[in-house]
């Protein structure tokens, strides 16, 4: 009994007397995504691997410890057997994230090694640091091995198409349509088709973006909203931006390392699991972007659309991937649903500065869903997506988020849910 009491006390110390490895190592991951100019799909995969590794490292120790039956949860990828009963949770999380990032970006190892050394030095003198670091390294390596053949490589390029409705540029990164999910059962279940070119729905979306997304129709508000969410190469990308939002909200609430790693893993898995359906829709339907559609509307067979060969989108470039659907929308909706579910409340106001915010100006949102809606709508204001593709992305993202909440990282014993909120 005395040994059990000591183990319990050490666990509680480790839970509440930590630095913040979740914040620290997500910052390392996001800085690397920016440095490498990673595309959104790669950014989502990186975030998921890092956060799953931290969660599984922490959850393994907790599940094996004296309170395991009470607060232990299902693993994401790596099962608890083999975890030490007594180990420092912060050391485990740091070492797990370090192992993943070194494997993904070996040319950055010196930077990651320095961060891990600083983390472990800060924990010196606490019990279980060595055991935690050893276990975390094991978990990180296991996550890397589990995702080694997950469809993210080798690179594939979908060739440019021709003719009405077809995307006209080569698309590099098309292999991500095959990315194996972290948490959902069937990515194909979320794939939906765009409206036919000759349909009224298509004509309505066409007419809207022709006005709202036209650079010739000057609107500073529309431009700034587009820019705030544009998140092009060299930024954290939309998945990274939503990881920033999640971590800022978590930090403001002082979550324990147990809860913070769980939130990070849930959000990151939902972001990664939108990659497959989003890229599958793009690959299968291979739809042209609004700029091409408007310039060549006399070829679409729809009597309700009129061509404007001089049209230029407010957002500048035409867009580097097929149009249907908006990845900004699906990523944003998935993250917003998970955040609302985790906190059992969508109406949590937050103030945030995106990587591409014009002038570095913050924006305040009344809820997660409001921010997701604006992120999706920004693509229409930029002239890069039709509204029906924004809505399709939002719907798919919400579905992915709900499935992740319903089935992953649940308690081993006791009640699993209260409504849509995972306990």
CA distance 394 to 274: 10
Mean pLDDT score across all residues of the chain = 94
Model pLDDT for residues 339-397, shown as the tens digit of each residue: 999 999 999 999 999 999 999 999 999 999 999 999 999 999 999 999 999 999 999 99
Tokens of 365: 């949102």
pLDDT for the residue 7: 45
- pLDDT above 70: residue 3: no
Query: For the chain, which domains are there?
Result: 2-146 (1.20.144), 157-422 (1.10.606.20)
Q: Across residues 414-420, what is the average pLDDT?
A: 58
Q: Across residues 306-322, what is the average pLDDT?
A: 97
Residue 106 pLDDT class (50, 70, 90 cuts): very high
Tokens of 3: 């040994």
Name the 3-class secondary structure at 238. Answer: helix
Question: Which of 263, 268, 239, 253 is closest to 354 using CA atoms?
Answer: 239
pLDDT for the residue 8: 43
pLDDT for the residue 347: 97
Residue 70 pLDDT class (50, 70, 90 cuts): confident
- pLDDT above 80: residue 12: no
Length of the chain (residues): 423
Question: Which of 237, 323, 264 is closest to 42 using CA atoms?
Answer: 237
- Separation in Å, CA 54 to CA 27, 69, 259, 271, 286: 14, 20, 11, 16, 37
- pLDDT above 90: residue 100: yes
- pLDDT above 90: residue 9: no
pLDDT for the residue 58: 98
The per-residue DSSP string of 185-233 comes to S-GGGG--PPPPTTSHHHHHHHHHHHHHTBTTS--HHHHHHHHHTT--T
pTM value is: 0.95
Model pLDDT for residues 259-296, shown as the tens digit of each residue: 999 999 999 999 999 999 999 999 999 999 999 999 99
CA distance 62 to 180: 28
Q: Across residues 313-332, what is the average pLDDT?
A: 97
Residue 17 pLDDT class (50, 70, 90 cuts): very low
Tokens of 392: 């399709």
Let me know: does 93 contact 257? Beta carbons within 8 Å: yes
Element (H, E) at 418: strand 417-418
Question: Which of 34, 59, 60, 58 is closest to 47 using CA atoms?
Answer: 34
- Separation in Å, CA 392 to CA 252, 368, 376, 388: 32, 18, 10, 6
pLDDT for the residue 68: 87
Question: Which of 190, 357, 166 is closest to 275 using CA atoms?
Answer: 190
Tokens of 324: 């249907």
- pLDDT above 70: residue 1: no
pLDDT for the residue 95: 98
Lowest mean pLDDT among 80-84, 210-214, 246-250: 80-84
Q: Across residues 96-107, what is the average pLDDT?
A: 98
């Amino acid at each position: 009994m005395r040994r059990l009491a000591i183990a319990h006390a050490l666990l509680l110390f480790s839970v509440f007397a930590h630095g913040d490895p979740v914040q620290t190592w997500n910052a390392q991951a996001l800085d690397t995504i920016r440095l490498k100019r990673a595309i959104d799909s790669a950014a989502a995969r990186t975030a998921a691997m890092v956060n799953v590794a931290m969660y599984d490292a922490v959850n393994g120790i907790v599940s094996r410890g004296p309170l395991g039956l009470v607060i232990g949860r299902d693993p994401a990828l790596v099962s608890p057997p083999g975890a030490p009963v007594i180990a420092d949770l912060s050391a485990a999380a740091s070492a797990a994230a370090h192992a993943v990032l070194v494997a993904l970006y070996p040319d950055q190892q010196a930077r990651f090694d320095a961060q891990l050394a600083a983390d472990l030095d800060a924990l010196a003198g606490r019990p279980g640091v060595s055991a935690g670091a050893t276990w975390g390294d094991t978990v990180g390596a296991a996550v890397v091995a589990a995702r080694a053949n997950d469809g993210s490589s080798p690179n594939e390029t979908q060739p440019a198409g021709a003719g009405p409705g077809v995307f006209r540029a080569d698309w590099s990164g098309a292999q991500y349509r095959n990315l194996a999910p972290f948490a959902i059962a069937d990515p194909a279940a979320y794939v939906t088709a765009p409206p036919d070119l000759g349909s009224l729905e298509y004509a309505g979306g066409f007419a809207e973006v022709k006005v709202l997304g036209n650079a010739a129709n000057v609107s500073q508000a529309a431009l700034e909203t587009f820019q705030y969410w544009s998140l092009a190469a060299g930024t954290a990308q939309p998945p990274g931006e939503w990881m920033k939002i999640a971590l800022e909200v978590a930090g403001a609430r002082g979550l324990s390392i147990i809860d913070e790693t769980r939130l990070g893993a849930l959000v990151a898995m939902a972001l990664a699991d939108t990659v497959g359906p989003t890229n599958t829709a793009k690959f299968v339907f291979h739809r042209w972007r609004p700029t091409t559609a408007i310039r060549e509307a006399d070829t679409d067979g729809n009597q309700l659309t009129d061509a404007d060969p001089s049209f230029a989108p407010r957002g500048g470039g035409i867009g580097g991937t097929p149009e249907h659907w908006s990845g900004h929308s699906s990523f944003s909706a998935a993250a917003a649903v998970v955040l609302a579910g985790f906190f059992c409340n969508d109406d949590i106001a937050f103030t945030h500065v995106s990587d591409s915010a014009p002038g570095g100006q913050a924006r305040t949102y009344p809820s997660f869903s409001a921010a997701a809606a604006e992120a999706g709508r920004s693509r229409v204001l930029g002239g890069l997506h039709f509204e029906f593709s924004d809505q399709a992305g939002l719907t798919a993202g919400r579905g992915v988020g709900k499935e992740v909440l319903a089935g992953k990282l649940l308690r081993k014993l006791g009640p699993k849910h209260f409504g849509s909120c995972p306990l």
